[in-house]
Amino acid sequence: MTLPPLVSFVAPSGTGKTTFLEKLIPALAAHGLRVMVVKHDVHRFDIDHPGKDTHRLTAAGAHRVLITNRRKLALMGKADGETPLLTLVDQYGAGVDLVITEGYRSSAMPKILVARADARPRRPWERGTIARIQNLVAVVADHDVALPSTHGHVPRFSLDDPEPCVAFLLDRIAAASPIDRPLTGVLLAGGRSVRMGEDKATLRFDGKLLLPQLTARLQTVCQKVVVVRRTGQVLPPLPPNVQVVEDLVSGMGPLGGLLTGLAAAPTPFVFLAACDLPLLDPEFIRWLAQHPGRGADVLLPMRDGHAEPTHAIYGARCLGPIKQAMLSGELGMGTWLGALRVERIPETDWRQAHPDGRSFLNVNTPSDLARAEALLPLG
């Protein structure tokens, strides 16, 4: 896993670090960043209180107790000494764009000094402490802080306005990665097509076989196209360079198809689509691939208040959570997303690029297919 960038805000306790971070973090969030904060406390602390179930289980001898729901998770337990910061970030920083720490003054990571003229620290620093700080990259203060010449010139920002510091972090610490995502197009062709009355992989649309049409469209925007079929399924002839693979695990529905497509993809992202989307729009897929969801593992369009999981982009980091979900018997397309960075794209956003929404139109019955053909331009 590639670790997100880190920066530590340092100052004696009682100077105003937390107060400034209360302004800084929402400003970073407004720019689309997910921020993880690690507070290093050199003194004893305990967030688990007697009487709570978690405390009772810890007292009973559990080394670690994890409590979780759809919105939060918390881990209570014992630590056998200090856990290195990078280990903490590696374990808990999935889907995070920037890690901010309070403390870790002796580390080599980039640091921002916070200073307030009227501060009365509970534990003042010893004389010469600032001179010993390594990798000082900025100062946030309400007065002119004298720095030793060993630090050279560092930018200075106001305690009252977080935006200049946000711009600095975006530019120097958390520079965005390229937005364009190299794609493999993954078409799911293995459904049973009960309501259609025939295999959707052999449907005709506008007088021609639909599946070859879809693969040809995907080839215009994807570096590779993979068609996932069920065991023994016969497909119509497809364009050159289309790879046909069988489901790695049969009977797992779209989730199994996504797992198979991700495993076969040579690119870090796949665009997943079902083979019953006759009006699939390559230009809309291109727009989706360039959506500025910084660090997103999944780009999930929303339509009519619901997600469109078979018209979405998934990154390679999805493989692990999908495997775990399948081992747990959780085969829904949304049950495993909690461990990942998911960018849900509101309908108001994507309709600016694709106003009529035809790309999402799926056909489950012969009447659906007829309605889709009626939307084709005349002539």
Domains plus CATH for the chain?
6-173 (3.40.50.300), 183-374 (3.90.550.10)
CA atoms of 94 and 203, how far apart (whole Å): 41
CA atoms of 272 and 298, how far apart (whole Å): 11
Q: Report CA-CA distances (Å) from 15 to 115, 165, 243, 369.
A: 6, 18, 61, 67
Contact between 96 and 34 under an 8 Å Cβ cutoff? The reply is yes
Would you call 30 exposed, middle or buried from its count of C-beta atoms within 10 A (0-12, 13-18, 19+)?
A: exposed
Contact between 12 and 18 under an 8 Å Cβ cutoff? The reply is no
Reduced to 3 DSSP states, what percent helix, strand and coil does the chain have, rounded to the nearest 5? 30, 20, 50
CA atoms of 135 and 14, how far apart (whole Å): 23
CA atoms of 74 and 312, how far apart (whole Å): 30
Q: Report CA-CA distances (Å) from 242 to 228, 230, 346.
A: 11, 16, 32
Contact between 113 and 17 under an 8 Å Cβ cutoff? The reply is no
CA atoms of 183 and 175, how far apart (whole Å): 22
CA atoms of 130 and 111, how far apart (whole Å): 11
Residue 282: predicted pLDDT: 95
Residue 352: predicted pLDDT: 93
Residue 129 CA to its chain's centroid (Å): 38
Dihedral (CA of 288, 294, 295, 298) sign: negative
- Secondary structure (DSSP) of 217-261: HHHTT-SEEEEEE-TT-------TTEEEEE-SSTT-HHHHHHHHH
CA atoms of 324 and 225, how far apart (whole Å): 26
Residue 176: predicted pLDDT: 44
Which residues lie across from 113 on neighbouring strands? 10, 139
DSSP H or E stretch at residue 89: helix 85-92
What is the length of the chain? 379
Report the phi/psi class of residue 268: left, alpha or beta, with left for phi > 0 and alpha for psi in -120 to 50: alpha
pLDDT tens, the chain, 379 aa long? 456 788 899 888 888 888 999 999 999 988 878 888 888 765 565 667 777 777 777 777 776 777 777 777 777 777 776 777 777 777 777 777 888 888 778 777 888 999 888 888 878 888 888 888 888 889 999 998 888 888 888 899 999 999 999 999 988 764 544 456 789 999 999 877 778 878 888 999 999 999 999 999 999 999 999 999 988 889 999 998 999 999 988 778 889 999 999 999 999 899 999 999 999 999 999 999 988 766 788 999 999 999 999 999 999 889 888 988 888 888 788 778 887 888 899 999 999 999 999 999 999 898 999 999 999 886 4
Contact between 20 and 159 under an 8 Å Cβ cutoff? The reply is yes
Contact between 211 and 236 under an 8 Å Cβ cutoff? The reply is yes
Residue 43: predicted pLDDT: 55
Residue 45: predicted pLDDT: 56
